[in-house]
Structure 1
């Protein structure tokens, strides 16, 4: 006898259909940008934004790349986002290890402080950060932006990891202590490896969040050589120096690196969300 195929409930098909429609709606802006990036201005004028290009028109992408020196802007964004992601994860682990496992005095109030820090709008931070960076000579430098976003991202990471490490099995740490492992060794050999899925998720999100930041880099990176990709796009758009196809080309070049980074680490992100922080 042949095995009977499982019958899917109508509710499951409705959920799948809704998810498919949602995926099409969410991906349609990216598809439209991609289509228009490879059109000539004449094709865009005659056919509109939804028409298919007759060929690969690359002049818009090449002109935009040369006009803003996109390779330099790409390197600036990669450097800042990568440094912030790594630094914020390291700082979050150290803070959360002290708060979640070390149980320092005033732990609850410290966590409340980190929570409040996450709710502050960036506009309220501009003047004090601008003044401090001017005083220490870091204004208009990539290091200033790296330090600022490392602290901002670490505030969220500390709050999240503190609750996670607060549930860490004490028996494992006690056994390590009996074997002669100190606090630093327990952190590096036990806590970090077990918490690696959560740390990987934080690393990916910190990178993408920092990559997309616009407001603070616009304030602190005024030199053309230090600008990031979002700032370069915004400045050029504000000068009204681009037609519709070049604008689409610039948007495509700005999106592709972040999408590529997400796709490369998609399995890591999925595993981290699914497995959780501690088994």
Structure 2
């Protein structure tokens, strides 16, 4: 009996050491499936306009006239896409949008982290007033900024240049980025900063080797959003970029529509060409965006 009890006790030890309870699978209630079905339905409703554009982009004008916008195309007709591409020199327009949006995204994130480092960690004098001004700048409509910016661009010789739009949107986007990052950095753990300073790190080293790696998920989110927001902007590029060589995708679409030079199928082809780059950009950085959104608070 003694031997048997010893064996059973020794056999039970590994289980007690681990201390892990058997995994229990939670059963999802009916409410979870209702929410899932509602989200799928909502996604389907949001994709309806994209589906209509996709259908009409590959139709001929005659098919659109005879069967309406909701009918399937009789074949893969690329005439509308080809005509729009040649008419606006879409390759050049696409390059302009990518250059402006990419430059603004990178520069705005860089300027935001520098400003937020001074406001959130440096705690400069008048910090609350600066944040209030930045918050006010985010609420101003762009229509109120067009004329002063137009006048200044004329004075310094930057009118009808891509650099002028890059500068304007870098400042506009960085105002939001500074306001967001300063609130994040205001809760940054002080022991990390003190440990870095004890090790001999200066302010720049603390910023790039301690602060930036911790807030990298937030910076990645801002980078994606700044790119997409700038890509979709219309008013300021329309006023500042009057020559066709400097126009962006949104401006080219608006100008051609205003001149009534496109039928329904070409308009759908133009909308498709303008939408595809942002969708591809979002898909490429989807994992980065999801990691940034699901990242917890500063550890």
TM-score category by the smaller chain?
A: over 0.9
Aligned counterpart, 1:122 = 142
Q: What corresponds to 1:104 in structure 2?
A: 124
**Which of 85, 99, 111 is the matching residue for 2:105?**
85
Q: Distance in 2 between matches of 1:277 and 1:219?
A: 41
State the Cα deviation string for residues 54-89 of structure 1 (Å, max 9, x = none).
210001001100000000000000000000000000
Secondary structure at the counterpart of residue 72 of structure 2: coil
Query: Is residue 193 from structure 1 mapped to residue 213 from structure 2 by the alignment?
Result: yes
Report the counterpart of residue 6 of structure 2 in structure 1.
none
Is the counterpart of residue 150 in structure 1 residue 170 in structure 2?
A: yes
Deviation at 1:6, TM superposition (A): 4.8
Number of residue pairs matched by the alignment: 277
Deviation at 1:277, TM superposition (A): 5.6
Instruction: Give 5+ residue unaligned stretches, structure 2.
Output: 1-22
- Between the aligned partners of 2:165 and 2:24, the Cα distance in structure 1 is 60
Q: Please give the residue correspondences for 1:1-279 in structure 2 after superposition, counting only pairs within 5 Å.
A: 6-276=26-296, 278-279=298-299
Change (3 A) 1:216 1:277: farther
State the distance in 2 between where 1:132 and 1:278 align: 41
In 1: Cα distance, 2:126 partner to 2:24 partner: 61
| Equivalent residue, structure 1, for 2:20 | none
Segment drifting more, 41-50 vs 213-222: 41-50
C-alpha distance in 2, partners of 1:253/1:278? 40
- Specify whether residues 25 and 168 from structure 1 end up closer, same or farther in structure 2 by C-alpha distance, changes over 3 A only: same
CA deviations on 1:3-31 (whole Å, 9 max, x unpaired) are 99753211111111110110001111011
Distance 1:42 1:171 in 2: 70
Per-residue CA deviation, residues 30-53 of structure 1 (Å, 9 max, x unaligned), is 111011101111111111111111
Normalising by structure 1, report the TM-score.
Answer: 0.97
CA contact (8 A) 1:230 1:254 kept: yes
Q: Summarize deviations over 1:160-208 as a string: whole Å, max 9, x none.
A: 0000000111100100000000000110111111111000000000000
Matches of 1:276 and 1:97, distance apart in 2: 20
Report the alpha carbon displacement of residue 276 of structure 1 after superposing the two structures with TM. 4.0
TM-score, length basis structure 2: 0.91
CA RMSD of aligned residues (A): 1.2
Deviations 1:133-179 (A, max 9, x none): 00000011000000000000000000000000001111001000000
Query: Is the Cα contact below 8 Å between 1:77 and 1:229 reproduced in 2?
Result: yes
Runs of 4+ displaced beyond 6 Å? none
Paired with 1:53 and 1:80, the residues of 2 have a C-alpha distance of 35
| d(CA) in 1 for partners of 2:140, 2:40 | 36
